[in-house]
Amino acid sequence: MRTPSLRDQREFVHAARASRKLHGAWVHAPDTVQAFRLYVQRAGQPGRHSFLVCRRDDGAIVGAVDISNVVLGLFRSGYLGYYAFAGHERQGLMREGLQQVLRHASSTSSCTGSRPTSSPATRHRSRW
């Protein structure tokens, strides 16, 4: 798990393009150079945390996790979005990556005390 940088542009954009069929209408991963640069720029903004999930053995990017609209104070919350790239789905890699991100979020001052919640519409899709 690491934050995205411009060095990841080529690998990420290629993976996003190769994953269009897998993602369908559910995910719109940055699949152009311009969209990826904007993604990296936004990743560093206040209230937003973006992470790349990478394989341990070779560092290949297998997916992404984003926490946006982070609210602090008494009602600590944020929106969690995530997706795997084609060829890396159904291997447990995103589960492990999500667990790492949630541990990180709950241990930092920017997201302390965050707990996952889901709406009835999305609960059936959460299998991690």
> 57-88 pLDDT, tens per residue?
999 999 999 988 888 878 778 898 999 999 99
Q: Tell me, what's the pLDDT at 61?
A: 97
- The continuous run of DSSP H or E covering 15 comes out as helix 9-18
DSSP element (H, E) containing 105: helix 93-107
One CATH from 3.30.360.10, 3.40.630.30, 3.40.50.620, 3.40.50.1000 for 6-113: 3.40.630.30
The confidence score (pLDDT) of residue 1 equals: 87
The parts of the chain modelled with pLDDT lower than 70 are 108-128
Q: What is the pLDDT of residue 123?
A: 44
Q: Which structure tokens are listed for 4?
A: 């995205």
Q: Where are the domains of the chain?
A: 6-113
Residues in a beta bridge with 50: 66
CB 49 within 8 A of CB 82: no
Torsion angle defined by CA atoms of residues 101, 105, 110 and 111, in that order, rounded to the nearest 10 degrees = 130
> What's the pTM value of the predicted model, to 2 decimals?
0.79
